Amino acid sequence: MKFSLTWLKDYLETDATVAEICDALNAIGLEVEGVEDPAEKLAGFRIAHVLTAARHPDADKLQVLTVDTGDGQPLQVVCGAPNARAGMKGVLGLPGAVVPANGMVLRKSAIRGVESNGMMCSTRELELGEDHDGIIELPDDAPVGTDFADYQGSDPVIEVAVTPNRPDCMGVYGIARDLAAKGLGTLKPVTMPAFTASGACPVEIRTDDAEGCPAFYGRVVTGVTNGPSPDWLQARLKSAGQRPISLLVDLTNYLMLGFGRPAHAYDLAKLSGAVVARRANDGEEVLALNEKTYTLDSEMMVIADDNGVHDIAGIMGGEHSGVQDDTTDVLLEIAYFDPARIGATGRKLGLSSDARTRFERGVDPEFLDQGLDLLTGLIVELAGGTPSDAVHAGSPPSAPKVVAFDPGQTLRLGGVEVPEAEQQRILESLGFTVGEGWQVTCPLRRNDIEGPADLVEEVVRIHGLDKVASVALPRVEGVARPTATPQQKLERGLRRAAAASGLNEAVTWSFLPTWAAEHFGSDQPLWVLANPISEDMKAMRPSLLPGLLMAAKRNADRGAASSRLFEIGRRYFRSGNGLSDEKPTLGIVLAGEKTARGWQSGKARPFDAYDAKALALQLLEAAGAPVANLMVMGEAGAQFHPGQSATLRLGPKVVLARFGMVHPATLKAFDADGPIAAVELFLDAIPAKKGAAFARPGFTPPALQAVTRDFAFLVPATLAAGDLVRAVQGADKASITGVRVFDVFAGQGVPEGKKSVAVEVTLQPGEASFKDADLKAIAEKVVAAAAKLGGELRG
Stretch 155-184 residues interacting with another protein (CB under 8 A) = 163-166
Residue selected from 492, 689, 740, 771 as contacting another protein according to rule CB under 8 A? 492
- Distances in whole angstroms, Cα of residue 596 to Cα of each of 18, 504, 593, 602, 667: 65, 18, 6, 9, 22
User: Within 274-398, where are the H helices?
Assistant: 339-349, 354-361, 369-383
Segment contacting another protein (CB under 8 A): 210-218, 506-514, 670-678, 741-749?
506-514
- Cα separations (Å) of 56 from 59, 99, 111, 187? 5, 24, 9, 58
Give CA–CA dist 778/782, Å, rounded.
6
The distance of closest approach from Cβ of residue 562 to another protein in the complex, given in angstroms and rounded to an integer, is 8
699 counts as binding another protein under rule CB under 8 A? no
Kindly state the DSSP code that residue 438 receives in the 8-state scheme: G
Instruction: Give kind and range of the element (H or E) at residue 573.
Output: strand 562-574
Q: Is 404 in the site for another protein (CB under 8 A)?
A: no
Least Å distance between CB 256 and another protein? 18
Q: Which of 132, 412, 603, 689 binds another protein (CB under 8 A)?
A: 412
CA-to-CA distance for 626 and 632, rounded, in angstroms?
Answer: 13
The secondary structure of residue 474, as a DSSP letter, is P
Q: Which stretch binds another protein (CB under 8 A): 274-282, 451-459, 635-643, 751-759?
A: 451-459
Minimum separation from the CB atom of position 378 to another protein (A) = 30
DSSP SS3 for 631: strand
Rounded Cα distance between 782 and 792, Å, is 11
Q: Judged by CB under 8 A, which of 128, 460, 619, 648 binds another protein?
A: 460
Q: Which is nearer to another protein, 171 or 339 (CB)?
A: 339
211 lines the binding site for another protein (CB under 8 A): no
Residues 6+ apart with CB under 8 A from 425: none
For residues 599 and 694, which CB has a smaller minimum distance to another protein in the complex? Answer: 599
Long-range contact set of residues 645-648: C-beta below 8 Å, sequence gap at least 24: 645/609, 646/609, 646/613, 648/616, 648/617, 648/620
Q: Pick out residues in 306-365 that bind another protein (CB under 8 A).
A: 339-340, 343-344, 347, 360-361
Q: Which is nearer to another protein, 528 or 717 (CB)?
A: 528
Rounded-to-integer distance, Cα 700 and Cα 574, Å: 49
H/E stretch holding 613 reads helix 609-622
Contact between 213 and another protein per CB under 8 A: no
One residue of 110, 399, 469, 628 binding another protein per CB under 8 A: 469
695 binds another protein (CB under 8 A): no
Could you say which residues in the range 360-389 bind another protein, by CB under 8 A? 360-361
Residue selected from 421, 472, 692, 695 as contacting another protein according to rule CB under 8 A? 472
For residues 354-380, one letter each, b for 16 or more C-beta atoms within 10 angstroms of the residue's C-beta and e for the rest, the string is bbbbbbbbbbbbbbbeebbbbbbbbbb
Helices 247-259, 354-361: crossing angle, 10 deg rounding: 40
Q: Assess 514 for contact with another protein (CB under 8 A).
A: no
Q: Which of 47, 114, 42 is nearest to 80 (CA)?
A: 114
# residues contacting another protein (CB under 8 A): 103
Nearer to another protein, 228 or 408 (CB): 408
User: Which is nearest to 613 in space by CA: 569, 552, 677, 675?
Assistant: 677
Q: For residue 675, say if its preceding peptide bond is cis, omega within 30 degrees of 0.
A: yes
Is 157 or 506 the residue whose CB approaches another protein more closely?
506
User: Closest distance between another protein and the C-beta of residue 484, in Å?
Assistant: 6
Using the rule CB under 8 A, give the single segment among 83-91, 556-564, 672-680, 763-771 that binds another protein: 556-564
The one among 84, 309, 430, 456 contacting another protein by CB under 8 A = 456
Q: Does 52 bind another protein (CB under 8 A)?
A: no
Single out the residue of 6, 10, 27, 324 in contact with another protein (rule: CB under 8 A): 27
- The minimum distance between CB 202 and another protein, in angstroms, equals 37
Alpha carbon of 142 to those of 40, 51, 139, 153, 282: distances in Å? 20, 15, 6, 13, 62
> From residue 387, how far is each of 219, 303, 467, 547 by CA, in Å?
7, 21, 52, 68
Q: SS3 letters for 252-276?
A: HHHHHHHHCCCCEEEEHHHCCCCEE
We find the least distance from the C-beta atom of residue 324 to another protein, in angstroms, to be 33
Q: Does 529 bind another protein (CB under 8 A)?
A: yes
CB of 648 to another protein, least distance (A): 22
Rounded CA separation 447/450 (Å): 8
Q: Which of 582, 621, 684, 774 binds another protein (CB under 8 A)?
A: 582
Of positions 105, 402, 404, 484, contacts another protein by CB under 8 A: 484
User: Any contact of residue 524 with another protein (CB under 8 A)?
Assistant: no
- Return the residues of window 601-660 that contact another protein according to CB under 8 A: 601
Whichever of 132 and 347 has its CB closer to another protein, that residue is: 347
Taking the least distance from each CB to another protein, the nearer of 350 and 652 is 350
Kindly give, in sequence order, each residue whose CB lies less than 8 Å from that of residue 317, ignoring residues fewer than 6 positions away: 264, 266, 288, 289, 310, 311
Contact region for another protein (CB under 8 A) — 21-29, 243-251, 256-264, 632-640? 21-29
Minimum distance from residue 349 beta carbon to another protein (Å): 13
**Is 497 a residue that touches another protein (CB under 8 A)?**
yes
Report d(CA 231, CA 243) in Å as an integer. 13
260 touching another protein, by CB under 8 A: no
**Binding of another protein by 694 (CB under 8 A):** no
Does residue 466 belong to the site contacting another protein (CB under 8 A)? yes
- Residue 343 Cβ vs another protein, minimum distance, rounded to whole Å: 6
476 binds another protein (CB under 8 A): yes
564 binds another protein (CB under 8 A): yes
Q: Supply the DSSP string of 380-416, one letter for each residue.
A: HHHH--EE---EEEE-------EEE--TTHHHHHH--
Q: How far apart are CA 574 and CA 526, in angstroms?
A: 8
Q: Does 678 bind another protein (CB under 8 A)?
A: no
> Which H helix or E strand runs over 305?
strand 301-305
Helix spans in 483-558 (H): 486-500, 514-519, 545-557
| Contact stretch for another protein (CB under 8 A) within 263-271, 283-291, 507-515, 703-711 | 507-515
Select the span of 259-267, 432-440, 533-541, 714-722 touching another protein (CB under 8 A).
533-541
